[in-house]
Amino acid sequence: MNEMVDQKAGGKRPGAGRNPGAGLYQEATTGMRVPASQQAAIRQLLASYGRKQRQPSPDSLDNPQSFAQPARDTSGIALPLFQSKVAAGFPSPADDHIEQRLDPNEYLIDQADTTFFVTIQGESMIEVGLMPGDKAVVDKNKQAVMGDIVLAMIDGEFTIKTLSRQKNGKPQLLPANASGKYRPILIEDGMQFEIWGVVIGSFRRFR
C-alpha cells in the first residue's frame, strides 16, 4: 500500500535563509575548497574585503575639503541686533527697536585658537540647516556627546554627520536628509575613526 507523502515537508521554504547581500561581504557567497596551508591567509584577505564592503560610500560622506581658520588679527565689530518682533521688510533704525549690539565673532566663536571653518559639500545634512557652500564652525576643543553634529574622519575621509550609537554600543554617524539617498555610517572594528571637532554653528552668504 502506498504511503501518503506530505508535500510540505522537506525542500527549501519560500523566503527561508539569509537574503543575498545581507552578510559580511554584502553579496551572495559560495563554498569552495582551498589548500589547508592557505586558510589563514585567505581568511585575512576575506576579512579585509568584508571591511572594505562595509565602508561608507563617497556619496554618504559628502567629504568637505575646504578648511580655514579665523583671522588672528580680527578686531571686534558690534552691529545692531533688532528685536525679533520687527515686521518683515527693512527694520526701523529707531533706537527703541534695538535690543543690543552683537559681535558676530563673539557669537560664532567660543575659542579662536581651537576653532576652524569647513565648507559644506553635498546635501546629507540639509535638514539641520547645513546647505552646500555653508561654512560650518568647528571647535576641536569641545567634547563630543551623542546628538552633536561632528566633523569626523573615517579611513582618511572627512564627513560631517550627527553622532549617535548603534544597538551594539558602537558609534554611528547619521545623515539629516529624508530622501533616502544617504545611509547611516556604522563604525565597525578595523575602521579608522576619529572625531576632529564639534560643529557649533554655521553661516552663509546670499550675494
For residue 188, the one-letter residue type is: E
DSSP code at position 48: H
167 noted as active-site residue: no
Q: What is the pLDDT of residues 28-77, one digit of tens each?
A: 777 778 788 877 777 776 666 565 555 566 566 777 767 777 776 666 77
Give the lowest-confidence range in 73-82, 117-126, 159-168. Answer: 73-82
Q: How high is the mean pLDDT of the chain?
A: 79
Grid cell, residue 132, equals 552646500
- What is the spatial distance between Cα 8 and Cα 16, in angstroms, rounded to a whole number? 14
Model pLDDT, residue 50: 62
The alpha helices in 162-201, defined as continuous H runs, are: none
Model pLDDT, residue 103: 87
Catalytic pick from 60, 124, 135, 142? 124
Domain boundaries, the chain: 58-73+104-203
Model pLDDT, residue 96: 59
- What is the spatial distance between Cα 124 and Cα 177, in angstroms, rounded to a whole number? 5
Residue 57 phi, psi dihedral angles, 5° rounding: -75, 155
Biggest CA-to-CA distance, the chain = 106
**74 and 105 Cβ atoms separated by less than 8 Å:** yes
Choose between 5 and 141: higher pLDDT: 141
Topology of domain 58-73+104-203, CATH: Umud Fragment, subunit A (2.10.109)
Catalytic pick from 60, 135, 142, 161? 161
Q: Mean pLDDT throughout 81-95?
A: 57
CB atoms closer than 10 angstroms to residue 135: 18
140 noted as active-site residue: no
| β-sheet bridge partners, residue 150 | 161, 198
> How many Cα atoms are found within 13 Å in the side-chain-facing hemisphere of 42?
8
Choose between 113 and 7: higher pLDDT: 113
Q: What is the pLDDT of residues 106-158, one digit of tens each?
A: 889 999 889 999 999 999 999 999 999 999 999 999 999 999 999 999 988 99
